[in-house]
């Protein structure tokens, strides 16, 4: 376990050290696990543009709204699909309806036309609604719902509870381990997504963070570089800028994960069977 942990941590430490090193040290391959010739020029290059902070706000808005909407829709979709065909006659049809979207993809052009025809182009909803229902998450969640004792639902019905009350008062609290895992996956998806922002946003001012960083660093789009940022081009290297980009992109996820880890443990306790 210690070796596996080191294999996961050492690359992150190396990226951190590389992002704080000088361009000459990075180019010479002198950086290992500690910065050489400490330098903040790479971070200044990324952070000095006001558009960076605008993209951070857009990404935070997208992550919060997108995760909340996706989890609610996943719960509402997985619960009826977890029932037997005797309880929900159309379950098989709807199950294959969702599975079909995994096996067959319409393509980029139909996806773009669909978003355009709905009138949400160049808005935050264009980044949220097209991927609001993650079928993979729905499948994982409905399988978790199936593993819960059916007697819990039957006893709730005997006490006068309906389906919605049973879902939110019994199934959801007992499913915290699965919900925490799916929440983390959804947060990572929205935080790292860049392609849809590049296609669906008409102006760079509406780019999310990953799209903004991909534009100014990977594509080296000179239209996003002003006279102030141009002076840093001689003091930074491609490796240090990419390292700072990776570290900044991973930092929020690293900060969020310990809080979700607490819900993992709490959910396991709530989901245990007490006699």
Q: What is the pLDDT along the chain (275 residues), one digit of tens a residue?
A: 899 888 888 988 888 888 888 877 887 778 888 888 888 877 877 777 677 788 889 999 999 999 999 999 999 999 999 988 888 888 889 988 888 888 888 888 999 999 999 999 999 999 999 989 989 889 888 888 888 888 888 888 888 888 899 999 999 988 888 888 888 889 889 988 889 998 999 888 889 988 887 776 666 554 455 555 555 555 666 677 778 777 877 788 777 777 766 665 554 444 444 43
Query: 235 CB contacts (<8 Å, ≥6 apart)?
Result: 23, 39, 41
Tokens of 66: 């997108």
Q: How would you class 259 by CB atoms within 10 Å of its CB: exposed for 0-12, middle for 13-18, buried for 19 or more?
A: exposed
Per the listing, tokens 């609001």 go with 132
> How high is the pLDDT of residue 58?
93
Q: How would you class 53 by CB atoms within 10 Å of its CB: exposed for 0-12, middle for 13-18, buried for 19 or more?
A: exposed
Cα separation, 134 vs 267, in Å, equals 22
Cα separation, 275 vs 269, in Å, equals 14
> How high is the pLDDT of residue 274?
42
Alpha-carbon separation of residue 6 from 29, 32, 127, 145, 190 (angstroms) = 21, 14, 35, 35, 27
């Amino acid at each position: 376990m210690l070796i596996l942990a080191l294999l996961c941590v050492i690359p992150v430490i190396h990226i951190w050290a590389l992002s704080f090193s000088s361009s000459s040290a990075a180019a010479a391959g002198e950086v290992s696990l500690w910065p050489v010739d400490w330098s903040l020029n790479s971070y200044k290059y990324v952070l000095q543009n006001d558009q960076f902070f605008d993209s951070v706000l857009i990404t935070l808005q997208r992550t919060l709204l997108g995760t909340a909407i996706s989890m609610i829709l996943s719960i509402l979709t997985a619960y009826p699909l977890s029932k037997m065909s005797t309880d929900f006659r159309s379950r098989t049809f709807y199950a294959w309806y969702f599975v079909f979207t995994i096996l067959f993809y319409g393509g980029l052009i139909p996806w773009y036309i669909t978003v355009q025809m709905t009138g949400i182009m160049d808005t935050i909803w264009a980044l949220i609604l097209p991927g609001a229902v993650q079928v993979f998450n729905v499948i994982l969640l409905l399988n978790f719902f199936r593993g819960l004792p059916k007697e819990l639902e039957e006893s709730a019905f005997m006490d006068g509870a309906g389906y919605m009350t049973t879902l939110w008062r019994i199934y959801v609290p007992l499913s915290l381990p699965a919900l925490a895992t799916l929440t983390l996956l959804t947060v990572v998806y929205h935080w790292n997504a860049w392609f849809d922002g590049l296609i669906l946003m008409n102006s760079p001012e509406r780019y999310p963070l990953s799209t903004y960083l991909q534009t100014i660093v990977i594509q080296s789009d000179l239209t996003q570089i002003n006279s102030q940022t141009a002076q840093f081009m001689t003091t930074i290297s491609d490796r240090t800028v990419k390292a700072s980009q990776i570290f900044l992109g991973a930092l929020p996820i690293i900060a969020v994960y310990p809080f979700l880890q607490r819900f993992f443990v709490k959910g396991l306790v709530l989901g245990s069977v007490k006699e």
